[in-house]
Amino acid sequence: AQKVTQAQTEISVVEKEDVTLDCVYETRDTTYYLFWYKQPPSGELVFLIRRNSFDEQNEISGRYSWNFQKSTSSFNFTITASQVVDSAVYFCALSEMDNFNKFYFGSGTKLNVKP
Amino acid sequence: EAGVVQSPRYKIIEKKQPVAFWCNPISGHNTLYWYRQNLGQGPELLIRYENEEAVDDSQLPKDRFSAERLKGVDSTLKIQPAELGDSAVYLCASSLEDPESYNSPLHFGNGTRLTVT
């Protein structure tokens, strides 16, 4: 079974629109970590955020915000006022405490931001 | 701080030929990972090292893949012989793990795009 599901394969928006990327995870561990990575066309995955399972506070960093809801096993990522430079593939990942340092990645969501 | 360095950036080989990839992690990072990323998919772990010890190689196809991390620093991943299905991007990542900070973020290199013809 997929531990991390990113149901949106590809999303296209026009610049300045807000966009939310969905991530649903599955784990039996009570302690786990969730991550978001950005992969621009250059290929390097860039770390964006890490969240542990005990911290359900939403986080905002500039135009980026993350909504962690344990009740629905979701860790969604919102980009406000999207820009062309946000165009990339975004990956959600899970790491469990019982098997730490083993990362399970979703299949990614390709975001196209058009001018 | 220099990032994770991988080479080559691209490699095209014929099937049955050998190929090797090299990775130099961020200085001081004790944990090193090799991932394979197929087109349109997320990275999948091949092998993880803690210092020079391979602690998770359960997903490494050992009949044709091998890896080493001498002296606990840089690492090489080899495929011999390569098959058509090995075409993918091979990503190296590193992290600094210590008892105070489990599940540290991974820092990735640019990857090696392998095409087997």
Distance from CA of B92 to the nearest CA of A (A): 10
Q: What is the per-residue pLDDT for B104?
A: 79
A to B CB pairs, distance under 8 Å: 61
Residue A98 has pLDDT above 90, yes or no: no
The β-bridge relationship of strands B75-79 and B65-68 is antiparallel
The β-bridge relationship of strands B31-37 and B88-95 is antiparallel
Nearest to A34, CA basis, from A49, A16, A21: A49
Rounded-to-integer distance, Cα B47 and Cα B62, Å: 11
A102 inside 8 A of chain B by CB: yes
pLDDT digits (tens, 9 = 90+) for B85-111: 999 999 999 998 766 666 678 999 999
B66, with CB counted inside 10 A (0-12, 13-18, 19+), is middle
pLDDT digits (tens, 9 = 90+) for A40-76: 988 889 999 998 898 888 888 899 999 999 999 999 9
pLDDT digits (tens, 9 = 90+) for B36-78: 999 989 999 999 998 999 988 989 999 999 999 988 899 999 9
* Token code pair at residue A76: 């969604």
Query: For testing the chain B interface, which of A31, A44, A46, A89 should be mutated: the one with the most B CBs within 10 Å?
Result: A44
The residue type found at B108 is: F
B18-33: average pLDDT: 94
Nearest to B111, CA basis, from A45, A58, A97: A45
Task: Mark out chain B residues that contact chain A at CB-CB < 8 A.
Answer: 3, 31, 40-45, 48, 50, 56, 89, 91, 93, 95, 97, 102-103, 105-111, 113
Return the residue of A nearest to B57 by Cα.
A102
pLDDT classification of A1: cutoffs 50, 70, 90: low
A2 inside 8 A of chain B by CB: no
Q: Are B42 and A93 inside 8 Å of each other by CB? A: yes
